[in-house]
Structure 1
Amino acid sequence: MPTPSNMNGKVAIVTGAASGVGRATALFLAKAGAKLAIVDVNAEALESTAEELRNLKTEVLTLPVDLSDTRQCQTIVDKTVDTFGRVDALCNVAGVFLPTHTTDMSDDAVDLTLSVNLSAPFKLIRAAIPHLIEHQGAVVNVSSCSAHPGQAYLALYSATKAALNQLTKSLAMEYMHKGIRVNSVSPGGMMTPLAAGMRNLQDPDPTLMGRIAPLRGLVEVDDVAEMVAFLATDAAKGYHGAIINIDNGITAG
């Protein structure tokens, strides 16, 4: 697995940092020397991540923010710059995963999925771009293998993740000559609190569920997080507009 380069003196924003890939990404970046602004709606778990980062002698700003209120995105970037003076990397890891029969999906669930999975990453990127250009930084979006094949019971989730990948490629083109890098990581199923949402799906058709079963098993959280952290650093200088699948072959065929 690629290793993040030295991030001493640099600053990264990581959303979804209370657990799973977000938490692991923050830890990898801290070990590379970065200062961290960590974001999550779960304030208690976010503080647990912050304590772990402080134990690594990392300077950390905790931002317990609900990203469904996308008006907070500019504030996240502003507070990071006010605290640390710069932003060198933005890792959009936070996501909402609500598997359901399409006709059962409430308006609130629709709005939450669209806000957290697509609107918030866009608005965070929009706010961070001037700072990223100044410091030749990077955006890393965490998408999903669900962005590629059609998947039953995940229609809106899959659509937002496909849109996030397209956003990645379009931004890569728009900022081709500005020195920043924009990439995406598409993980397969992992043992995270987010994935536990599959247990809430009522009466799924097993023949449809079997189509997305990982034949090689689940993906390791640390493998995904290490790639996210790597792409956030100068070690990944050759990556721009890339969509990197880490899914144990789910999207291979």
Structure 2
Amino acid sequence: MPTISDMSGKVALVTGAAAGLGQATALCLARAGADICLVDINLAGLQATAREIESLGRRALIQAADLAETSQCATLVKNAITELGRLDALCNVAAVFIPSHTTEMSDADWERTLAVNYTAPFKLIRAAIPELIRNQGAVVNVTSCAAHMGQAYLAAYSSTKAALTHLTKSLAMEYMHQPIRFNAVAPGGMMTALAAGLRNLENPDPSLLSRIAPLRGLNEIDDIAEMVAFLASDAARGYHGAVINIDNGITVG
């Protein structure tokens, strides 16, 4: 994996930091020397992540928040800057994954998926841009292989990830002449609690599920986390507008 540059004296905000990829990303950045603002709805998980970060000698700021309440996003960024002194990287990792037959998907599930997966990242980015420009920082969005291929029963999830991918590229173009970088990582399937949700879908068509089965197996969470952290660091200074697929070849064809 790419080598993360020294992030001593820098601060990263990581969403979804209570477990899974978000937690692994926060710990990876902390091991590189960064102080971390941790955001998630799961307070107990945040506290566990914070203890690990503090054991590494780094500071951890906990902000328990439901990103579906997107009006909080600007405050989350402001608190990170106020409490930790600056912001150098924003890693949008949190996601909602609700597989559903389209005709059975509730308005509430649709709206929550859009809010957490797309609107919240946009609002966090919008609030963070001035500080990230000041510090020549970076935004890393976690999208998905689902952004690049049709996937049955994932209309809401796939749509938000495709939108987040295009947002990344559009922002990279808009800020081409500013000292800020926008990149994305598009993972394939990982062994996370999110992925387990597909097993709860009632009466899926096995032939459709087989089309998205990873022939080379699931991705390792730490491999994805290391790429997110790399893109957040100065070592990735040549990356701008990139979307890095780490999906064991599922989007090859």
Alignment TM-score > 0.5, same fold: yes
Give, in whole Å, the separation in 1 of the partners of 2:64 and 2:199: 27
Q: How far 1:101 moved relative to its partner?
A: 0.2
- Secondary structure at the aligned position of 1:157 is classed as helix
Give, in whole Å, the separation in 1 of the partners of 2:197 and 2:39: 21
1:197 aligns with 2:201: no
Match of 2:236 in 1: 236
Q: How far 1:31 moved relative to its partner?
A: 0.5
Give, in whole Å, the separation in 1 of the partners of 2:49 and 2:194: 17
Give, in whole Å, the separation in 2 of the partners of 1:137 and 1:144: 23
One-letter amino acid of the structure 1 residue matched with residue 21 of structure 2: V
Q: How far 1:99 moved relative to its partner?
A: 0.5
Match of 1:78 in 2: 78
- Secondary structure at the aligned position of 2:70 is classed as coil
Q: How far 1:84 moved relative to its partner?
A: 1.6
- Secondary structure at the aligned position of 1:57 is classed as coil
One-letter amino acid of the structure 2 residue matched with residue 241 of structure 1: G
Q: How far 1:51 moved relative to its partner?
A: 0.7
1:106 aligns with 2:106: yes
- Secondary structure at the aligned position of 1:36 is classed as strand
1:247 aligns with 2:247: yes
Match of 1:167 in 2: 167
One-letter amino acid of the structure 2 residue matched with residue 21 of structure 1: L
| Percent identity over paired residues | 66
Any unmatched runs of 5+ in structure 1?
Answer: none
Give, in whole Å, the separation in 2 of the partners of 1:53 and 1:135: 23
Once superposed, what is the RMSD of the aligned Cα atoms? 0.5
Q: How many residues align?
A: 253
One-letter amino acid of the structure 2 residue matched with residue 69 of structure 1: E
Give, in whole Å, the separation in 2 of the partners of 1:136 and 1:79: 19
Match of 2:2 in 1: 2
Q: How far 1:156 moved relative to its partner?
A: 1.0
Q: How far 1:200 moved relative to its partner?
A: 1.1
Match of 2:28 in 1: 28
Q: How far 1:85 moved relative to its partner?
A: 1.8
Q: What are the within-5 Å matches in structure 2 for residues 51-200 of structure 1?
A: 51-200=51-200
One-letter amino acid of the structure 1 residue matched with residue 74 of structure 2: Q
Give, in whole Å, the separation in 2 of the partners of 1:83 and 1:98: 34
Match of 1:212 in 2: 212
Runs of 4+ displaced beyond 2 Å: none
One-letter amino acid of the structure 2 residue matched with residue 190 of structure 1: M
- Secondary structure at the aligned position of 2:191 is classed as coil
- Secondary structure at the aligned position of 1:91 is classed as strand
Give, in whole Å, the separation in 2 of the partners of 1:72 and 1:114: 16
